[in-house]
Structure 1
Amino acid sequence: MRKKLLRTKAIVVHSNSGLKKCLTAFDLALLGIGCAIGTGIFVLTGIAAATQSGPAVILSFIIAGVASAFAALSYAELASSIGGSGSAYGYSYVAFGEFIAWVMGWILLLEYGVGSAAVANGWAGYFVSTLANFNIYLPEALTKAPVLGGLINLPAFAIIWILTILLMVGVKESARFNNIIVIIKLSTIAIFITLASMHLNTSNWHPFMPYGWFSTLENGKNIGVLAGASLVFFAYFGFDAVSTAAEEAKNPQRDLPIGLIVSLTFCTIIYIVVSALLTGIVPYTELNVSSPVAFALTKIGYTWASTLVATGVLAGLITVLLVLLYGLTRILFAMSRDGLISPVFSEVNPDRQTPTKIILMCGAIVSIVAGFIPLGELAETVNIGTLASFIMVCVGVIVLRKRQPNLKRPFKNPWNPLIPVLGILSCGALMTFLPAVTWMRFGIWILIGIVIYFIYSIHHSKLNK
């Protein structure tokens, strides 16, 4: 009973964290858009169409979007009633207790940490190719990790530190920067939509579903609309970062649900429109390229598309990186405050009103991973971590409705418990379509986290003390 009361009390205590309350609903919505629109729309759309879904990649995005929508409604309810900067970690802490919360936090570190390093590597690749368009070439030793024959992936390493410094300056300044860059990349997408709509050829949509709903090839690869949905789900990865900003929102009970739902709805519409146009102007079999949007525009006669799309991608990935790093620091901030990692990292700089020590630590670790370690397929594990966190949030809504029925809920899910149950089923189904090797890596990551919990966290936890 005492631990249950302490978990409930944490809701109130964490509302006075010392972090600066300065973010509006508009800032939160753009935070979600900034993180969600990036690699998914510029890269995965074409790859999923060519290798897994065909023109029915539109359905893949709809399925992934619906699953995310169920999770978003669950996030909105918990964000409005519990708050806290730990996202699904904080919600699990209140709903299930410390151990499950630690596992959830450990999964989120995989989602945000590995995701940040993977996006930094992708950004570096586009940055190098963009410089080459202007006849500026970086030495190969400065663009590859040591195991790939270089010394360091300097662009990936540097962009992490630039954004780390920006986060240290202040969250409002970071939000302003994010808002500006989001407008730039949305302008790029608007240009693509305008140009592509003038060259639409509906015959390219036939056959619409060449790979069916789902099947497995002899080499173990999954194909079909449902397999495509599990791949393009990466496009929705990160919109939940909005919930990590609870303690810096001016009116979290009202603004967090708005930010979550608006950002997800907007991104889903954009994904559907872009994927429909992309497969409508170029045969889907030709879209298995690193930059399918640029390739498609070039095919219809716009040779200047490479520079345009490179600008959009660079801008888009910068905001994705910024929001991922922000979310990572706030999750670790919450875990530190609960004693599960060193309390040093939950100290807030009184001048900047930001947790500068945890920001520096995250910047150092992620920059080293991005600069010196080629991630390869490890980044695919991000998807399963995101889906797992969505499921836990949906379960948390059901549990808290039973355990704390009188908890004030400014936003309540309609048709409870149907929405969270549908979220559990849809996200769970998408997890089953992921490759076996992804499950194996995910299991190993969780085991490592459990070992750390019993070696350190359980002995320093404020709850257990």
Structure 2
Amino acid sequence: MSRPSSDAQPPIADDGATTTLSMKRTIGLTSLIGLSISITIGSGWLLATLLAATKAGPASILSWFVAAFIFSIIGVSWLELGTMLPCSGGSVRYPRLSHGAFASWFNGFAYLLACIALPVIEAQAVVTYLGGRWPELGLVAHQSGTTILTWPAGILVGFALLAVFFVLNIFGAALMAESNKWVTIWKCVIPVATFLLMMTAMNTENFSAYGGFAPMGWAAVLGAVSGGGIVFAFNGVRLIAEFGGEAINPRRSLPIAMIVGGIAFPLVVYVGLQIGFIGAIDWTDAGVAPGDWAGLITSNWSASPLLDAVMAAGFTWFSYLLLTDALLSPAASGWVWLGLGSRVTYSMSANGELPRGLQRLNRRGSPWVALVVVTGIGFLFFLPVPSWYVFVGMVATAMMFNYVIAAPSVQVFRRLAPQLPRPIRIPAVTFFGLAGFILSMFTIYWAGWATMINVLTVTMLGLPIYASYSSVKNGWSRSTQSGVLSIVFTAAWVIIAHQGGWMFSGGKQVTGHWSIGTYLAAFVVAAVAFVVALWVISNGEGRQHLKAGIWVLPTFIFVTFLSYWDVNGPGHVISGLTSSLILVVFSAGMYFWAVRSGFLTKELADITHEYDETKTVALA
């Protein structure tokens, strides 16, 4: 797959053309792999095995292989992007370069929300395990069929953990990477030892009795990829690209770190854990009827499943080591995710999508203002969804929104910036790009209606921010007109969300609210009205950015409402095969629309011009 295209070095997107502030390159290959593994061995290894089992039973083992295949295909695009233009916060920088401000903002806003939420999720996992081990602390409780953090005890402990993540990040990426390297060694040893010990207590009946290997059906294998938290295990693929601007020799380090830390390691560890956990389930000790896979979510094991499995297997001595790692692993991941969230905020500021003050660095090279903002918003995220099991599916889906745009960006850069060196040049770029795009769409789709409608509704609230800030700041529309549009749309959107009756409703519509037909009509009309109004009040340049990115709205609105009528959705009128064929055809159309929509943005033109001048000087 790898083929050098030139001896010349591509420009770094952090410098000159995109922002005048440069981060320090202090992270080596070993530290990059460590950061990736630290993300993959976080709260997921402690709780995702149980959540995946509740979604698909023993067949959840296959869900990990499905996810590894999907992220291997998706990761191909990130390899070319990350080595062609290594930069920090690349996942929000590349769309800006290829498709302009509107697509970049929608993409970046969804990803920013996910990145801010991820440290919260890791803190929730730590508190959940503590509460499961010592219930007398009153940190967790069972409510609405799941485990939640209590107020004030559980949530305040979560606040304290988030504050610790903030302090550690202030000391810079070098400290984070170096310290995390030693933490990662510990985090690798304990999960491997855990699944080996659980396998000594293997009950093979758990794999074949109680409805067979796939008691929820084969479609549940796919649903567990997003809904079961499995997506988090492979997020190291993109994390590596996020730290590209701070990596030493990124053209060599990024692909190795992506393959080793992002795909191979998590696949081996998580498959082992899933097999070990399923085989070690003691239904009596868990307090549920044998074969009640869905009931595990409210069982005695729900707060600390692996700890309980190890203890039930007779390894009480090891439970203390596992509990130590149950605190250390999510905490270390939360530390890294908070740093990543601040870099995404920094990058969006460099794009002109957020205030420039967010680019301020301290003397250690950390974006400290962005860290303060991200941490502050994170505190608020504990309140509406204080449960790892509920929050994880929403955040995983929001993150997948960001994966969709990578493949179209690669082809846009091929067309508009062919002269830039590509240390890794994708063969059959249309095939891999289209495949990655379609698989990203399926991963979002498998999350299901209840998750997707919540995520999309919140993400759409980024539109009025784009109109009132980014469009005005760039001189594309007037502040008064944009402000009125933003206020009107926000008010209408809140009304629509409320009348729809699906927001944070536990997957069931609140009675007395709109029918799905009325809800869909209002949803689409509001989105179209916003775009039309923004087009009318924008100048030519603003309209160009809007035109290049408008494809993102029908893409995500369609896939969300298709999931409603899917056989597994509330409407359940379209068979799984039919809905899959519809999604493949639709996704292919959206992919080619996205590729054609890209244009030579000012930022990309500056980068190519800088490269051309550097090459001319070198030849002279």
- Quick check: TM above 0.5? yes
State the distance in 1 between where 2:281 and 2:434 align. 39
**In the alignment, which residue of structure 2 is the partner of 1:213?**
218
**In the alignment, which residue of structure 1 is the partner of 2:405?**
392
**In the alignment, which residue of structure 2 is the partner of 1:235?**
232
State the distance in 2 between where 1:434 and 1:338 align. 30
Q: Could you list the runs of 4 or more consecutive aligned residues of structure 1 that deviate by over 6 angstroms after TM superposition?
A: 462-465
**In the alignment, which residue of structure 2 is the partner of 1:251?**
249
Q: Is the CA contact 2:223–2:448 (under 8 Å) kept in the aligned structure 1?
A: no
State the distance in 2 between where 1:312 and 1:149 align. 25
Deviation for aligned residue 1:11: 6.1
**In the alignment, which residue of structure 1 is the partner of 2:50?**
46
Q: Is the CA contact 2:57–2:215 (under 8 Å) kept in the aligned structure 1?
A: yes
**In the alignment, which residue of structure 1 is the partner of 2:452?**
439
**In the alignment, which residue of structure 2 is the partner of 1:198?**
200
1:317 maps to 2:330: yes
**In the alignment, which residue of structure 2 is the partner of 1:171?**
173
1:357 maps to 2:369: yes
Q: Equivalent residue of 1:257, what SS?
A: helix
**In the alignment, which residue of structure 2 is the partner of 1:225?**
221
Deviation by residue 1:232-275 (Cα, 9 ceiling, x = unmatched): 33333642222211111111222122222221221112111221
**In the alignment, which residue of structure 1 is the partner of 2:578?**
none
1:34 maps to 2:43: no
Among candidates 431, 434, 439, match of residue 418 of structure 1: 431
State the distance in 1 between where 2:324 and 2:292 align. 26
Q: Is the CA contact 2:58–2:278 (under 8 Å) kept in the aligned structure 1?
A: yes
1:458 maps to 2:456: no
Deviation for aligned residue 1:407: 2.3
Among candidates 48, 54, 58, match of residue 55 of structure 1: 58
- Residue type of the alignment partner of 1:354: S
1:25 maps to 2:29: yes
| TM-score normalised according to structure 1 size | 0.86
Deviation for aligned residue 1:455: 0.3
State the distance in 1 between where 2:70 and 2:131 align. 36
Structure exhibiting the larger radius of gyration computed from Cα positions: 2
**In the alignment, which residue of structure 2 is the partner of 1:217?**
none
State the distance in 2 between where 1:45 and 1:340 align. 38
> Do the aligned partners of residues 40 and 365 (structure 1) sit closer, same or farther apart at CA in structure 2, a change above 3 Å counting?
same
- Residue type of the alignment partner of 2:258: L
> Do the aligned partners of residues 151 and 227 (structure 1) sit closer, same or farther apart at CA in structure 2, a change above 3 Å counting?
closer
State the distance in 1 between where 2:343 and 2:280 align. 42
> Do the aligned partners of residues 320 and 331 (structure 1) sit closer, same or farther apart at CA in structure 2, a change above 3 Å counting?
same
Tell me the number of residue pairs that the alignment of Structure 1 and Structure 2 aligns: 439
State the distance in 1 between where 2:453 and 2:271 align. 32
**In the alignment, which residue of structure 1 is the partner of 2:312?**
299
Deviation by residue 1:30-54 (Cα, 9 ceiling, x = unmatched): 11111122222211212222x2222
State the distance in 1 between where 2:278 and 2:63 align. 13
Deviation by residue 1:87-116 (Cα, 9 ceiling, x = unmatched): 311111112112111111101112111222
> Do the aligned partners of residues 95 and 342 (structure 1) sit closer, same or farther apart at CA in structure 2, a change above 3 Å counting?
same
Deviation for aligned residue 1:329: 0.4
- Residue type of the alignment partner of 1:421: L
Q: Is the CA contact 2:45–2:191 (under 8 Å) kept in the aligned structure 1?
A: no
- Residue type of the alignment partner of 1:339: G
1:281 maps to 2:283: no
Deviation for aligned residue 1:59: 0.7
Higher relative contact order (CA 8 A, sep 6+): 1
Among candidates 370, 378, 397, match of residue 366 of structure 1: 378
**In the alignment, which residue of structure 2 is the partner of 1:143?**
none
State the distance in 2 between where 1:113 and 1:196 align. 34
Deviation for aligned residue 1:230: 2.5
**In the alignment, which residue of structure 1 is the partner of 2:71?**
68
State the distance in 1 between where 2:213 and 2:131 align. 36
State the distance in 1 between where 2:20 and 2:160 align. 34
**In the alignment, which residue of structure 2 is the partner of 1:218?**
none
Comparing 185-194 with 394-403, greater Cα deviation is found at 394-403
Q: Is the CA contact 1:237–1:386 (under 8 Å) kept in the aligned structure 2?
A: no
**In the alignment, which residue of structure 2 is the partner of 1:329?**
342
Q: Is the CA contact 2:62–2:221 (under 8 Å) kept in the aligned structure 1?
A: yes
**In the alignment, which residue of structure 1 is the partner of 2:484?**
none
State the distance in 1 between where 2:87 and 2:314 align. 50
State the distance in 2 between where 1:168 and 1:122 align. 23
Q: Is the CA contact 1:65–1:236 (under 8 Å) kept in the aligned structure 2?
A: no
Among candidates 107, 115, 128, match of residue 112 of structure 1: 115
State the distance in 1 between where 2:38 and 2:392 align. 19
State the distance in 1 between where 2:225 and 2:351 align. 36
**In the alignment, which residue of structure 1 is the partner of 2:420?**
407
Q: Is the CA contact 1:17–1:247 (under 8 Å) kept in the aligned structure 2?
A: no
Q: Equivalent residue of 1:210, what SS?
A: coil
Deviation by residue 1:329-376 (Cα, 9 ceiling, x = unmatched): 001101112221111110222x22222111122222213433x55444
Give the aligned CA root-mean-square deviation in angstroms.
2.8
Deviation by residue 1:414-449 (Cα, 9 ceiling, x = unmatched): 442222222222221122222212222222223211
Among candidates 259, 262, 265, match of residue 260 of structure 2: 262
Q: Is the CA contact 2:195–2:277 (under 8 Å) kept in the aligned structure 1?
A: no
Q: Is the CA contact 1:167–1:326 (under 8 Å) kept in the aligned structure 2?
A: yes
State the distance in 2 between where 1:29 and 1:403 align. 32
Deviation by residue 1:139-174 (Cα, 9 ceiling, x = unmatched): 99xxxxxx9653772221111111111111121111
